[in-house]
Amino acid sequence: MTSTRLYEVRGDVSPVSPYVLLRRCGGRPRGFWAAGDRWVAHAGLLGCVTVEHGHADSAGSRFGLVQEESRRLFGRVRSRTAADVRPRIFGGFSFSPRRKADPIWSSFPPALFHFPEVELEHLPADGVCSLAVRGRTREGAERDWRRWADVLERAAAAGHGVVRGASDAPAGPDQVAGLRGHALSASPSRVFGTERATWGRMVWQALSKISAGDAEKVVLARHLEVVPSQPVEPADLVTALWEENHGSYVFLFEPEPGQAIVGAAPETIATLVNGVVKATAVAGSAGVGTDSVQTAQMAQDLMDSDKDRAEQNFVVRDVAARLKALGCRVQLDVEPHVLALARIQHLETKIAAEVPPGISLLDILESLHPTPAVCGIPRSVALSVLTGSEDFDRGWYSGPVGFFDSEGKGIFVPALRSAVCSGGQWRLFSGAGIVPGSDPAMEWEETELKFRPVLRAIARAGAGESTAAETG
């Protein structure tokens, strides 16, 4: 990495849809991250931090390598005043530093982060959008900021304002039908993936390890290949996913045109702000009913389930122990509550901890990943079981994705309810925690439920039903 200086210009613009930026920057690296109405969209590439295959193990931890290289990158950024500089990078890590020879993940190495040329952020409390533009000269950055500000102001004036990130309406008739065909009514597609018989064998293998006392929990995943009859643009897909999953952390990372990962995670791995790390321990699943009474009963059944409570407690126990091992002072909820999302419910426990000096967000991430929510416990045994059972490369599925800045603040979520695209084909992933009492048929149904957010978004995006406006 060279020591060339980079310049940042930042200022406020009228509220505008992130879709404006994403669509205008098609063909360039892009990304989007949202938690409800708070979001940030970015495009272009001015700097990159990456850990390639073969370096993650031999040259030290990939988390440590990203930490080291990001500090060098942040040190190159200048602004009008030092207080104005808030550079941050966006990206993530694969589930495992090792990979199988799967071309669908060719643009996603063990770690990859982008320092974008343009970044648009919406903070609902401020009532405006913040626009940051970077360049290799101060004059160039200021010129490009004015150009982008003009584009966005014209879009806002034309009525392309901030799109609320979601529909909280009760679930209607599902666009996804059939367990084998997964017919997408709005966008007919070819669909194939893990066979049900294969899934059954995977679950029984995990249960045999558990019954032998070698493991307490193993998280298995399966995949679904979807080839839409009409191309589905990643920006359209993430917009549809965001609009229907208001309670989730919705993301898009597209390092190369047409090579993208999107998802809607229900939980965070870690958020670090002002010396306090927050995490959520999520596990156990239930659907939603046709009315509020039925949904409430399903939530109570989830709270009363010994199996689901035990599965979720594995996550709580492991996360708390790992934070304490880093010297953090941990506080957590006495018991879980039900996290109600648009079409699925989970058990959730909120965890907060004071972080001692010298411990960074990436240090915390390295300790926590992979959590029992995406891998199992003990970690080494669960990894061995899922590696031997799954006949596909997880790639970035269930790996940490997010962003962090030069002050150490940031957020990472597991890449769940996710899909990766390459050449017009989308590969979806869904997993389930296998614990004592798990039944292959019930776990299959749980994974079906977790496929639905992305399947619905594909159907909606393929039918052109996104409510976001395009400015051309």
pTM, two decimals, is: 0.90
Question: What pLDDT shows up at residue 431?
Answer: 96
Give the Cα separation of 303 and 346 in Å (integer).
9
- Walk along the chain (472 residues) and give the pLDDT tens digit of each residue: 446 899 999 999 999 999 999 999 999 999 999 998 999 999 999 999 999 876 655 445 899 999 999 999 999 998 765 555 679 999 999 999 877 678 999 999 999 999 999 999 998 887 889 999 999 999 999 999 999 999 999 999 987 666 554 443 333 333 333 323 343 444 446 688 999 999 999 999 999 999 999 999 999 999 999 998 888 999 999 999 999 898 899 999 999 999 999 999 999 999 999 999 999 999 888 888 889 999 999 999 999 999 999 889 999 999 999 999 999 999 998 899 999 888 889 999 999 999 999 999 999 999 999 999 999 999 999 999 999 999 899 999 999 999 999 998 999 999 999 999 988 899 999 999 999 999 999 999 999 999 999 999 999 887 544 333 333 3
Give the Cα separation of 471 and 152 in Å (integer).
10
DSSP 3-state of 189: strand
User: Amino acid identity of 359?
Assistant: I
H or E element: which one contains 263?
A: strand 259-265
Do 56 and 40 contact (CB within 8 A), yes or no? no
Cβ-Cβ contacts under 8 Å for 137 (sequence gap 6 or more): 7
User: First vs last Cα of the chain: how many Å apart?
Assistant: 36
Tokens 């990372």 correspond to 253
User: Amino acid identity of 142?
Assistant: E
Question: What pLDDT shows up at residue 465?
Answer: 43
Pairing between strand 6-13 and 77-78?
Answer: parallel
- The alpha carbon of residue 196 and the mean position of all alpha carbons in its chain are separated, in whole angstroms, by 26
Query: What does each C-alpha distance from 150 to 108, 122, 153 come to in angstroms?
Result: 34, 17, 5
Nearest to 105 by CA among 52, 61, 64: 52
Tokens 């993301």 correspond to 251
Give the Cα separation of 15 and 21 in Å (integer).
12
DSSP 3-state of 330: strand
Give the Cα separation of 465 and 456 in Å (integer).
11
Facing residues of 32 across strands?
41, 252
Q: How does DSSP assign 100-137, residue by residue?
A: -S-GGGTT--SEEEEE-SEEEEEETTTTEEEEEEEESS
Question: What pLDDT shows up at residue 187?
Answer: 44
Helices (H) and strands (E) in the chain, counts: 10, 25
Question: What pLDDT shows up at residue 374?
Answer: 96
Pairing between strand 88-93 and 111-115?
Answer: antiparallel
